[in-house]
Structure 1
Amino acid sequence: MRFLKASYKKQLQEISKTRQKLNEILDEMEKTTMKELDDEMTSLKASVKTDMDNCIQLKNELTQLSDALKEIVDKSKAELLFVASKKCLEKIKHSETYLKENSVQIKSSLTFQANSDIQQYLSKLSGLGRILVCTQAVLLYDDPDQIFTVQGGSLKSLLTASFSEEIFYISAICVLSNDQILVADRAEKKVKLLNHQYQVVGHCNVNGYPCDICQITPSEVAVAVDKDKTNEVQFISVNDGLLSNGTTFQFEHKCIGIAYNLQDMYLSSGTALYKYSMQGDMLEKLYEDTSALKTGNIMQY
């Protein structure tokens, strides 16, 4: 269910990204169309201004010639009257020709014609895409907080039909939140990383017999290690299929069981249950019963 919810959340983000991309495309198309509208408006305004400037210039020239003729007539300069009259007639003819060519008033307007192909195409679409259900075979127990009880070799007998001969004695198993499988091989004193075909794809040595494993972070586990006078918790990181040793805490009591909850670490010595900080400091002894060899095993439900 956790994986399903994560995939649902991711697909919501993908749908939002798709919508955002479409918005960006439409925004760019709108900018291009608006620029085309502005360019046409600028061109039409320039044409109208040119016509107005020409009319004003002709009017000014005719006015100047008219004033010059009046001055010549007043001063009785007959020799200049002929030349001025000729120029005036030429300018009048030029003005009449221009006005005749531009006698029809043209009213310009701008019209936007939408691309119907875009609207028709979008109207035929029922959604932004298709929702597909992808299935993949995974382990039934994908909860990293779930504990598997191993009695003798029963778990090993159940799983070794799928495991290769690279695993000899399973003492603990842990499934990380990203579905990576870790098993403790007591016989070889190793923690091994398995793929979904239960083949060993990585391993890491520990200093004794790995008795138990618990998850600390999505990429880190803690291993309870015990052998003779070796009583310790060894942290192992898992990154890109590679296992690497981290911090090691040593204890005076045996370490055969381990659990992690609310930033605290719980260790079992077999007859007692201890609570430790993640810095390796003992906070309290929660339980002790020395009436038998294993009365303080860690159990989770």
Structure 2
Amino acid sequence: MRFLKVSYKKQLQEISKTRQKLNEILDEMEKTTIKELDDEMTSLKASVKTDMDNCIQLKNELTQLSDALKEIVDKSKAELLFVASKKCLEKIKHSETYLKENSVQIKSSLTFQANRDIQQYLSKLSGLGRILVCTQAVPLHDDPDQIFTVQGGSLKSLLTASFSEEIFYISAVCVLSNDQILVADRAEKKVNLLNHQYQVVGHCNVNGYPFDICQITPSEVAVAVDKDKTNEVQFISVNDGLLSNGTTFQLEHKCIGIAYNLQDMYLSSGTALYKYSMQGDMLEKLYEDTSALKTGNIMQYYGGYIRVYF
């Protein structure tokens, strides 16, 4: 549920971002359209101003010629009167031609024609996108061999009692179906059985260092044992609070990690991952990385795949 809520909040943010991007696109389109409107308005205003300036200039020129003719007539200068009259007639003809060309009064206006394609496209959309439900298989950690969480508990009793003077190296922990706990003690080369109070109620010796444990059945586990030339898988049974060694099969490589799934064993040598049958036959080498001394050792099975910790 927590993961679902997190994904819900994240998708809300994605929807908001999508809306913001659309707003930015529409804002930019609006700016471009308004600029086009402003440019057309500026062009029309300039054209009207030019016409007004031409009319004013013609009027001023005609007024000046009229005043000049009056002055010449008053002074009775025949020669100048002829020249002035000719120029006045030319200017009047020019003015009449200009007025004739611009005799039709033009009312300019601006009209915005909306892009119907955009409106129609948006109106056909039912939303900003699609909501997809993505499902993924997530391990529930219901295999007691996989996850062991202690809240408020203590393994103090394991280090006290009759073993208070010894040094322990707990290399692996496995919880059985009945909540009994198996602890691999690498220092003592044995597997201890703990009760619900984390008290040691039994143990079983192994032939080397117990690096890892995995559950095979509700009452049987397999232990990865390794020491010098001893490389083996040791099966141990748990019955009525007692541990007893079962069968063992030898390996040609080191054995420091172990997992079980569907009648097959998965073993790690520290640099390679192997698949074995329950009878000890190597079926295949799944992976190998020799770039370091230990490139993978601790393994856990999660309902469909093996996870190797590096």
Distance of 1:251 and 1:101 partners within structure 2: 109
Distance of 2:86 and 2:214 partners within structure 1: 113
Change (3 A) 1:87 1:29: same
Change (3 A) 1:137 1:71: same
1:295 corresponds to: 295
Are the equivalent residues in 2 in contact too, given 1:235–1:246 (CA < 8 A)? yes
Distance of 2:59 and 2:201 partners within structure 1: 95
Change (3 A) 1:94 1:34: same
Change (3 A) 1:183 1:27: farther
Change (3 A) 1:31 1:233: farther
Task: State the Cα distance separating 1:162 from its structure 2 match.
Answer: 36
Distance of 1:236 and 1:56 partners within structure 2: 115
1:129-172 alpha-carbon deviations (Å, 9 max, x no partner): 00001111111149999983699999999999999999999967
1:34-92 alpha-carbon deviations (Å, 9 max, x no partner): 00000000000000000000000000000000000000011111110000000000000
1:67-125 alpha-carbon deviations (Å, 9 max, x no partner): 00000011111110000000000000000000011000000000000000000000000
Change (3 A) 1:282 1:94: same
Change (3 A) 1:4 1:284: same
Which shows bigger deviation, 39-48 or 184-193? Answer: 184-193
Unaligned runs of 5+ in 2: 301-309
Task: State the Cα distance separating 1:2 from its structure 2 match.
Answer: 1.2
Distance of 1:75 and 1:218 partners within structure 2: 138
Which shows bigger deviation, 258-267 or 204-213? Answer: 258-267
Change (3 A) 1:165 1:54: farther
Which shows bigger deviation, 290-299 or 189-198? Answer: 290-299
Change (3 A) 1:191 1:26: farther
Distance of 2:59 and 2:78 partners within structure 1: 26
Which shows bigger deviation, 141-150 or 276-285? Answer: 276-285
Are the equivalent residues in 2 in contact too, given 1:236–1:246 (CA < 8 A)? yes
Are the equivalent residues in 2 in contact too, given 1:138–1:196 (CA < 8 A)? no
1:230-284 alpha-carbon deviations (Å, 9 max, x no partner): 9999999999999999999999999999999999999999999999999999999
Distance of 1:202 and 1:98 partners within structure 2: 121
Are the equivalent residues in 2 in contact too, given 1:214–1:223 (CA < 8 A)? yes
TM-score normalized by the length of structure 1: 0.51
Kindly report the root-mean-square deviation, in angstroms, between the aligned alpha carbons of the 2 structures: 18.5
Distance of 2:38 and 2:239 partners within structure 1: 57
Change (3 A) 1:54 1:199: farther
Unaligned runs of 5+ in 1: none
1:2-46 alpha-carbon deviations (Å, 9 max, x no partner): 111111111111000000000000000000000000000000000
Distance of 1:68 and 1:238 partners within structure 2: 134
Change (3 A) 1:26 1:84: same
Are the equivalent residues in 1 in contact too, given 2:157–2:198 (CA < 8 A)? no
1:198 corresponds to: 198
Change (3 A) 1:161 1:56: farther
Change (3 A) 1:109 1:2: same
SS in structure 2 opposite 1:162? helix
Change (3 A) 1:152 1:69: closer
Change (3 A) 1:30 1:160: farther
Task: State the Cα distance separating 1:297 from its structure 2 match.
Answer: 28
SS in structure 1 opposite 2:290? coil
Change (3 A) 1:10 1:104: same
Which shows bigger deviation, 93-102 or 134-143? Answer: 134-143
Which shows bigger deviation, 185-194 or 99-108? Answer: 185-194
Distance of 2:290 and 2:70 partners within structure 1: 137
The structure with more radius of gyration: 2
Change (3 A) 1:139 1:117: same
Task: State the Cα distance separating 1:205 from its structure 2 match.
Answer: 24
Change (3 A) 1:26 1:6: same
Distance of 1:90 and 1:242 partners within structure 2: 133
Distance of 1:159 and 1:58 partners within structure 2: 116
- Aligned residue pairs, count: 301
Change (3 A) 1:140 1:89: same
